[in-house]
Structure 1
Amino acid sequence: MFNLNRKGQITVFIILGILIVLVFSLFFILKQTSVSKNVKVTEEVLTPLQGDNIKLFVESCLNRVSEEGLVLIGRQGGYYQSPLDYSILFVGDKLPYYYYEDEIRVLEIEDAEKELERYIKDYLPVCVDNFKIFEKSGYDITEGEIVVNVSYNERTKIVLNYPLKFELGQDVMEFDTFIKVVNVNVKKFIEAAEELVEQNLEDKGYICLTCMEDTAASKNILIDALPIHDSSVFANDIIMFRLEDKKPVILDYKNFTFEFIMEYLEVEIEEKLEIEDLGTFEIGVGELFEKTIVSNKEDVSYTDDSELFEISANGKISFTANKMDKGTHFVIITAETTAEKDNEFVIFKVTG
């Protein structure tokens, strides 16, 4: 009996020992699991630099600013800042004159590219806002100088050189070049504008609709021309042109258009040949009369129907009246060019 009880006690102790070991093992495993979870959470909070997010942020700002800039310069004839001395304020936009005071002022392609470059350089910093969104997450950021290069061809290419250095703990990431291509051909609009100005200089006094149709077809665009009459004392009549692609290009939720103005040119009516007003001349007998007739044009030859004198071809009259010439003489003097003729009636009264 004694031996059986002793064996039973040993068995109980063995079972209790195993249970204690299992409990401690389970506790250790659970503790290790808990520690692992805590380390993992810490690692998620202190994640390494997210290069894709940084790049995407800068690119989104470049996209936004580029499209906003293109919409603005399109509405202002290629200008970011229109010239004050030859532009007008029209519905919030400053429209430049492409012809003003006898001078063609169409914007050069290279100058137009610089206008968009200046816009992006001014407004990109506003969009990135000193990268405050990243600073709040613990990033140290170093920014370099912004350099923008714009190329106007079939599409608009924008190359942004913007040295950036992002640091988070021991992690460092650097960026430099960002590229944006916009499907709008600013170059063809400027070329079309130049054609329209030259056409209207040739056809003064009206808008050449067939010329507009030819330009629109060759550039695959739509053209609207609106004559605007100025009833003020300045009489500054203009033609406003609005150009756009046949298939609208939407930038920043707006339709891209290219707009400018030019002076409305009146028809130049050529002056008719006219002899100066002559009136009546009184001459005494024996008195020498001399006069050169003048008209408003050159290369004019003169004739007369008078018996008093013979006018020279260049219009000079020279004679001395005698007693037989006493009385009133009605004379017609004729001036003539190869294309036109004018007559002037003159009276000579010979007295004495």
Structure 2
Amino acid sequence: MKKRGQVTIFIVLGIVILVVFGFLFFVRGNVNEASFEEEMSSLTVPKEIESVKLYFDNCVEDLVDEGLTTIGEQGGYINLPKDIMFRSYTNPFSNSLEIYDGLKVAYWYYESANGIEMNQVPSLENIEVELENYINDNFKECYYNIYSFEQEGYEFSLPSLVNSDVKINTNNIQVSVNALVSVNHKDVNANIEKHMILVDSKFGDMYDSAVSIMNKENEEMFLEEKTIDMMVVYDEIPFSTTEFSCEKKIWQKSQVLEDMKGIVSTNIDQIRLDQPESSGAIKTNDYFEIDIPKKAGINDYFIYSTSWPMQMDVSPTKGDILVGDAITQSVPEISKFLNLFFCLNNYHFVYDIKYPVLIRLTDSKGYTLQFATMVRIDNNQPREYNEEVVNYDDADKFSKDFCENKVMPVETRVYDYDKFSSIAGASVSYKCFSSICYIGETNEDGLLQANFPPCLNGVVIAQKEGYEINGESLSTNSESSAAVYLDKYYDLSLDIKTLDLDDGYTRLIEDRYQTVIQFENLDNGYVTMVTQDDKTIKLTNGNYKITEYLLTSSDLEIELKSDTFTQCVSVPKAGVLGLFLKDDKCFDTQVESSELTDVIVGGATFEWNQELSSAKKITVYVPYDMMPRVQNDLITIFNNIQTTKDNSNFRYPSVE
């Protein structure tokens, strides 16, 4: 009992100490504010000089307003932190969000192009220093308009040294500028040694709210959780399900990305801080409310614009096409049929997504504090917050030093693969494990002579608009050279026709048919997909594997028996030394018996090569085999697709 009594006493003492310290902190804050206002009131000058004092006080207030506006718009910085890598194709996010040309907002959390988590939350003390420096550097602007006083006979001695002190409080900002201005007017002399103003602003309150939002996001990943909800709820985003449909099994990654941007923009805009019941405001949907109390007089906005970057990697894909991985089943031929993803819509896609969200806070006086954070989905899961996220001021030394340590001379030439001609203005980067360094651009002769950081088995990456990106392996631990060849895109008009395998006749695509054609360049990995709705196609020269499917609706319902199968998705995983390996994630799926009304009626798969440099148009012929009546007919059609090219009436694509 004695020990229990001692513990109780210690708890009570602890509570008392906390209350006392809290009270003392509150009292000290009020005393400091009262002391500041008292000193400000004591700064008096002769009546003849009052207009000059008022002018300089107003000028200081204007400088504070300008500096605070810039700080608020740029995420707590007047001078944004520098990124060790330029914003580019390989680094679209950089360390700041470019809202529009000329306005950038610092990320308070982001992942660098080298895969390092970074924290750029400015302390309130740093913001105060930024504002002090801004006032010191721009106080001379107050001198420009004193000529109006000089015309009235005022004489000035202006300061060469300016020293400011800024204190940001919850509801105001105290500014004191030590800058000796000596004034003489009609035998009246006065020294204005200090300029003090009190700015009515909730900037301190907004900063506290902003930090609370960032901490909440790092602890609960509420933005990531809601993003995953969007992926599950919206049909436009293929995620994980089983359907019987011949039409919904093809997605273009580029279109899914655009749909995802629109969905995110619409939903992020609905997120709000928790509105107290006592405020009398109309409550919004609780799902979109974040468990952070909304402070009086401060409005909050969560924003994503579709014009901002979003990075989306999906597995499994083939180029720009989302396709399901292999289905494992006891009956091989049924397995092949089920793997024909146009008719059995079973899939589980694994996403890695990055995009920025802008959080904007405003007060009733028009002041704003906004910052950006990066939302990250990793293998369909919210990012894991590392308590030791690297701060901007002590960013990862290896990554920074690697790109700065460009000591090995390398001669890089970039060529057009078709013409073997030089490509001017090609952007060149160098990748070593997870680090990507921008090197420069080729000159008019397609040559870049520059120093590279030393690395064993790195990759020189070249890219230019109108060409397929390409890279070449290169070790830069000694003086070396590299040649990178880029395949030019050729824009061709597209015509798709059906081909009857029985008589060899070709026909225009009828409305009842749907065609899906995939072009996979076996030389450079370029993949694209078109349907009869497309009028043009972009191709590079090379050897292609072309896969064609012809689909239609059937008057008969073809029965598929229930079964269980396993679907595996290959996803990238990091290996030793940063090398990327493959890992399989498998999912068992129970497929209930059902009937198909959308069926495949023909197709082909074959290899094709054609010189395209002078081509203007390509015509593709999609074979018609037969209308299936039962499940075995579908399996027959699928098996025939592999050998259709051997049919005497088969036709390869033609160009003109």
Whole-Å separation in 2 of the counterparts to 1:238 and 1:83: 17
Question: What's 1:139 paired with?
Answer: 154
Question: What's 1:113 paired with?
Answer: 128
Deviations 1:120-140 (A, max 9, x none): 223332133173233333433
Match for residue 177 of structure 1 among 190, 194, 198: 194
Deviations 1:60-97 (A, max 9, x none): 21122222222222112222222232223323422011
Kept in 1: contact 2:74–2:106 (CA 8 A): yes
Kept in 2: contact 1:106–1:190 (CA 8 A): no
Match for residue 214 of structure 1 among 287, 291, 302: 291
C-alpha distance 49-107 of structure 1, shift in aligned 2 (>3 A): same
Q: Does 1:98 align with 2:175?
A: no
SS at match of 1:82: coil
C-alpha distance 221-228 of structure 1, shift in aligned 2 (>3 A): same
Task: Return the TM-score normalized by structure 1.
Answer: 0.55
Whole-Å separation in 1 of the counterparts to 2:186 and 2:210: 55
Letter in 1 for 2:200: N
Letter in 2 for 1:240: L
Q: How does 1:40-79 map to 2 (within 5 A)?
A: 50-79=48-77
Kept in 1: contact 2:48–2:185 (CA 8 A): no
Question: What's 1:205 paired with?
Answer: 224
Task: Return the TM-score normalized by structure 2.
Answer: 0.31
Question: What's 1:156 paired with?
Answer: 173
C-alpha distance 269-206 of structure 1, shift in aligned 2 (>3 A): closer
Question: Runs of at least 4 residues of structure 1 off by over 6 A?
Answer: 232-235
Kept in 1: contact 2:167–2:174 (CA 8 A): yes
C-alpha distance 210-109 of structure 1, shift in aligned 2 (>3 A): closer
C-alpha distance 238-88 of structure 1, shift in aligned 2 (>3 A): closer
Q: How does 1:220-235 map to 2 (within 5 A)?
A: 221-228=298-305, 230-231=309-310
Deviations 1:119-162 (A, max 9, x none): 22233321331732333334332122211111011211111111
Q: Does 1:82 align with 2:91?
A: no
| Uncovered stretches (5+) of structure 1, i.e. residues with no partner | 1-47, 250-254, 275-295, 297-352
Task: Give the deviation of 1:184 after TM superposition.
Answer: 1.0
Whole-Å separation in 2 of the counterparts to 1:196 and 1:82: 21
Q: How does 1:1-352 map to 2 (within 5 A)?
A: 50-85=48-83, 86-91=95-100, 92-101=102-111, 102-129=117-144, 131-144=146-159, 145-154=161-170, 155-168=172-185, 170-201=187-218, 202-203=220-221, 205-207=224-226, 213-218=290-295, 221-228=298-305, 230-231=309-310, 237-245=355-363, 248-249=364-365, 255-269=366-380
Whole-Å separation in 2 of the counterparts to 1:231 and 1:103: 18
SS at match of 2:373: strand
Kept in 2: contact 1:239–1:263 (CA 8 A): yes
Deviations 1:267-301 (A, max 9, x none): 5547xxx9xxxxxxxxxxxxxxxxxxxxx8xxxxx
SS at match of 1:237: strand
Whole-Å separation in 1 of the counterparts to 2:163 and 2:138: 13
Structure 1 vs Structure 2 CA RMSD: 3.3
Task: Give the deviation of 1:168 after TM superposition.
Answer: 3.9
Task: Give the deviation of 1:52 after TM superposition.
Answer: 0.9
C-alpha distance 210-131 of structure 1, shift in aligned 2 (>3 A): closer
Deviations 1:303-338 (A, max 9, x none): xxxxxxxxxxxxxxxxxxxxxxxxxxxxxxxxxxxx
Whole-Å separation in 2 of the counterparts to 1:150 and 1:83: 21
When you count helix as a share of all residues, which structure comes out higher? Answer: 1
SS at match of 2:224: coil
Task: Give the deviation of 1:239 after TM superposition.
Answer: 0.7
SS at match of 1:54: helix
Aligned length: 221
Whole-Å separation in 1 of the counterparts to 2:379 and 2:361: 28
Whole-Å separation in 2 of the counterparts to 1:210 and 1:163: 46
C-alpha distance 231-110 of structure 1, shift in aligned 2 (>3 A): closer
Question: What's 1:336 paired with?
Answer: none
Overall identity of the aligned pairs, in %: 23
Select the structure with the greater relative contact order (CA < 8 A; seq sep ≥ 6).
1
Whole-Å separation in 1 of the counterparts to 2:189 and 2:73: 42
Kept in 1: contact 2:97–2:356 (CA 8 A): no
Letter in 1 for 2:169: N
Kept in 2: contact 1:205–1:267 (CA 8 A): no
Kept in 2: contact 1:158–1:180 (CA 8 A): yes
Task: Give the deviation of 1:196 after TM superposition.
Answer: 1.6
Task: Give the deviation of 1:209 after TM superposition.
Answer: 5.6
Greater Cα offset, 208-217 or 236-245? 208-217
Whole-Å separation in 2 of the counterparts to 1:267 and 1:183: 43
Deviations 1:169-199 (A, max 9, x none): 6432111112111111222222222222222
| Uncovered stretches (5+) of structure 2, i.e. residues with no partner | 1-45, 84-94, 112-116, 227-270, 275-288, 314-352, 382-567, 569-582, 584-656
Kept in 2: contact 1:74–1:256 (CA 8 A): yes
Task: Give the deviation of 1:103 after TM superposition.
Answer: 2.6
Q: Highest Rg: 1 or 2?
A: 1
Greater Cα offset, 167-176 or 69-78? 167-176
Whole-Å separation in 2 of the counterparts to 1:120 and 1:90: 26
Greater Cα offset, 57-66 or 79-88? 79-88
Whole-Å separation in 2 of the counterparts to 1:146 and 1:261: 33
Task: Give the deviation of 1:49 after TM superposition.
Answer: 8.1
Letter in 2 for 1:109: L
Letter in 1 for 2:196: I
